[in-house]
Structure 1
């Protein structure tokens, strides 16, 4: 016979398990002090972000991988909500990707960076805190 306590435990496990399996972006620490995150764009492309210390500053690397060489993407980088850099890049190589690297000021407290890139109707947007 199943008790109410056992039924409650099964119900809680069933409700919380799917939440833990769904994650649009993943964050991890690489070797050392860097932080990485990645995710899918609105279309078939993928984005990656990496933040790491660099002589008292923070180096941010944003990458878009569309698997199509020759596409022109427009990108923007925000630091704590303020626009810090923007530009256009063309995907290259067999991977059909491009990378943007910027060294940013290390402000007091947590720094939040948002990298957004668009091509046609496709939008890639990732955030990372360091």
Structure 2
């Protein structure tokens, strides 16, 4: 194996490890986007964005079923900031919850959690 081939392999491996260890994908203007996890067939995602000294939080759950009301909570650094209900709507059978949270000193860890009437749970966490 040539030195150049070994170097290219090492660079590729380091890039994969760095990407795998990243807590969330950075989008435009410092946005952080992460895929959540759900206990059944639904999907979830969380987006955090800096917004005029606050944190814009967008949590989406897609269940592909309209009219299902989920109980949703948002916590920031372990403090519950939001507790509400959200109902999936047509055409995709999803809901999106948007809230502005205070920007506290240091990094902010936001966790979103949604529970359906059937007990299905979706969660997502990210730091900004």
Q: What TM-score do the two structures reach when normalised by structure 2? A: 0.79
Are the aligned partners of 2:70 and 2:87 in contact in 1 as well (CA < 8 Å)? yes
SS in structure 2 at match of 1:32: helix
The number of residue pairs the alignment matches comes to 109
SS in structure 1 at match of 2:29: coil
| Root mean square deviation of aligned Cα | 1.9
Q: Deviations over 1:33-72 (max 9, x none)?
A: 1000013300100111000011111111111000111111
Are the aligned partners of 2:36 and 2:46 in contact in 1 as well (CA < 8 Å)? no
SS in structure 1 at match of 2:28: coil
SS in structure 1 at match of 2:24: strand
Alpha-carbon separation, structure 2, partners of 1:108 and 1:64: 29
Corresponding position of 2:83: 86
State the 1:106 CA deviation: 0.8
Q: Deviations over 1:81-122 (max 9, x none)?
A: 011011111100121000111111111111000100001120
Larger radius of gyration: 1
State the 1:30 CA deviation: 1.2
Higher relative contact order (CA 8 A, sep 6+): 2
Q: Structure 1 residue 125 and structure 2 residue 118: aligned?
A: no
Match of 1:50 among 24, 47, 50: 47
Corresponding position of 2:59: 62
Match of 2:104 among 102, 107, 110: 107
Corresponding position of 1:30: 27
Superposed structure 1 runs of 4+ greater than 4 Å apart:
none
